Structure 1
Amino acid sequence: MSEPKAATVDATGDDLALIKGATDTLAQLRQRFQTAIEQVIVQHGEVTVYVSRAAIVDVARYLRDEPKLLFNLLSDLCGVDRGLEADPRFEVVYHLFSIPHGYRLRLKVRVPEQDCEVPTLVGIYPTAEWHERETFDLMGIRFTNHPDLRKILTPDDLEGHPLRKDFPLQGY
């Protein structure tokens, strides 16, 4: 499975302000975290920044605390199983929003199957607590230093992670 290429964005009106905000955000991120930014994709007016796993906590803290950015809301976090053939197999996706500026940003962290763990963001975004538990429960991605990493939706005796592509569809 190949990654989509960066796209040119045509926009008018209010979308231009959002794209300008995204451009400013990317410039600041690239300046501060040169080696941690692995890839940037702009598609359909949405900006996705691939961040190294080792830097996700520092990048998220910077995005939240930098006065010109103030990405103060983690609106969603989820895990993605890209398939058994994909390398790395998993991604963790973070959707951030800056309430004061009205900007959206998607962060992604690539996670290899053999080391399926990402640092928790609970200390930066308290809303991450249940999102990370759900991702752990359904995808099997562990979050290092999470304060209460345990199942949240599936029964305790269920083996496996039901949103993984290799989870059996019947007979479980």
Structure 2
Amino acid sequence: MSGQGTQPGAERETREERRARELAAEKQVLAALERRFPGGAIEGSREICHKIWIDVSREALLDVLWYLRDDPDLLFKRFVDLTCVDYLKFPGHEGPRFGLLYNLYSLTRDAYARLKVWLDEDDLRVPTASEVYPAANWAEREVYDLYGVQFDGHPDLRRILMPDDYTGHPLRKDYPLRGRGERDSFPVLTRERS
């Protein structure tokens, strides 16, 4: 349980004990996914900073999400976050340029599931997770807006942060650091003028 130390007389869990418990739970999730999807849907995994990241194929993403959410032994009902990483010129990185990172949480297991879907620069498409997790809707719009990833089947895929007529995706690493002239469209405000 996550409430260690909240019961009278209960000992508080140390940081190391908590990390070990969380890592063990995440390894159980990985094992469950490997049993359920033996044909290549799970492309690999790695432990980073006491956390397990599970690589999932784009084609299997929705099946994996449905399974994690609905399996009575897992119950990852909470969609925590979705983000994207642009690995352009990342030291030592070989392979697809973009990684979509899905973070899910199970209150029942007190555990996280961290999934990564790799996308090539010339094929930035993945099915929307908003059908499985409605909370993914705006996170997908943000990733679309800032990185250009297309979420097939999304109910309202449009920009969420940048103006509708904005050109490009400003969190890509090949986007010019000083922009493409869009700063000239905004007035410079000073304390005196504001």
Decide which moves more: 162-171 or 116-125: 162-171
For each residue in 1:45-96, what CA deviation from the matched residue of structure 2 results, as whole angstroms up to 9, or x when unmatched? Answer: 2110000000000001100111111111111001111106853111110011
Letter of the 1:125 counterpart = Y
- Report the equivalent of 1:149: 157
1:15, distance to aligned residue in structure 2 (A):
2.7
Q: Which amino acid aligns with 2:136?
A: A
Does residue 88 (structure 1) correspond to residue 88 (structure 2)? The answer is no
In structure 1, how many angstroms separate the alpha carbons of the residues matched to 2:171 and 2:54? 24
**1:99-143 superposed Cα distances (whole Å, 9 cap, x missing partner):** 121101210000011111111000111110000000000000010
Q: Tell me the TM-score normalised to structure 1 length.
A: 0.89
Q: CA RMSD in A?
A: 1.5
CA shift at 1:22, angstroms? 1.4
Q: How far apart, CA to CA, are the structure 2 residues paired with 1:156 and 1:15?
A: 44
Aligned residues: 162
Aligned to 2:132: 124
Structure 1: stretches of 5+ with no match in the other structure: 1-10
Structure-to-structure mapping, 1:1-172, within 5 angstroms: 12-34=16-38, 35-83=40-88, 87-170=95-178, 171-172=180-181
Partners of 1:149 and 1:100 in 2: CA distance: 32
What are the ranges of 5 or more consecutive residues in structure 2 without an aligned counterpart? 1-14, 182-194
1:9-61, Cα deviation, whole Å (9 max, x unpaired) = xx842333222211221111001112111111112221100000000000011
Q: Secondary structure at the match of 1:79?
A: strand
Tell me if the contact between 2:27 and 2:52 (Cα under 8 Å) persists in the aligned partners. Answer: no
Which of the two has higher C-alpha Rg? 2
State the identity as a percent. Answer: 44
8 A Cα contact 1:46 1:105, kept in partner: no
